[in-house]
Amino acid sequence: MRLVACLCAVLSLLAASLVLVACAGEEPTPATMPLLFKADFEDGKLDAWQPTDPAAWKIDEVAGNRFLSLFKGSNYKPAVRSPFNYSLIKDVIVGDFVLEAKMLSTAREYGHRDMDVVFGYQDPTHFYYAHIAPAPKTDPNANSIFIVDDKPRVSIADLRNDGNKWDDKWHTVRVVRNVAKGTIEVYRDDMKTAIMTATNDRLKWGQVGVGTFDDPGNYDDIKLWGVKAEKGK
């Protein structure tokens, strides 16, 4: 009986180990990671957010729906060339993650009219951001995935489409980060075909947030699935 019990215990441990290995190898999706944060802003609170300039952000409401609004330019001067306007989710540090949000640009139409996702944020001069704009592939400073690494932002995209126009409608944006592979994928509306991708493993952990380079815009129904990480690890 003792031998049978020992064998059962060993098999149980082996099965648990195999499950952990299988999960570790899975691609980051909402189905494979826990939901760590969500915000629909119906409670009217902003205490879960860390903005570059609190005076530039508010909860707005249209037709009974509340949302996060970046309604003016931030009084913020980055140490190196990088976005002025962003707000990070407080107290949540992730490695692998999927962030999904609805976005509505309220800026004028021009090539760099953008909506952004900031991620891998470790401090004001170390982070990534996805800049979604109408600019074509030939523009090195827009519509791409960038890294800020103690110097002005640099495009790191392996692939990007030929521009993403904004209009007066809400669009769903998703960013997927796989730290082990170093991959970054950005989607807009069509969740099967990425509008831009990159491979970079310089920053393996950090906060996540939303914003723009220097435009106004609105955000709603933000969800973050992910694997929690610690600073410096």
Residue 107 in domain: yes
Residues 159 and 50 in one domain: yes
Residue 54 in domain: yes
Q: 173-189 b/e with 16+ CB inside 10 Å = b?
A: bbbbbbbeeebbbbbbe
Structure tokens at 223: 């969800």
The total domain count for the chain is 2
CATH number of the domain where residue 213 is located:
2.60.120.200
> Span 173-180, mean pLDDT?
98
Task: Give 134's pLDDT tier (boundaries 50, 70, 90).
Answer: very high
Q: Which residues pair with 227 in a beta bridge?
A: none
Structure tokens at 95: 């490695």
86 lies in which domain range? 33-228
Residues 146 and 158 in one domain: yes
Residue 233 in domain: no
Residues 80 and 186 in one domain: yes
> Span 204-229, mean pLDDT?
98
List pLDDT tens digits, range 89-105: 999 999 999 999 999 99
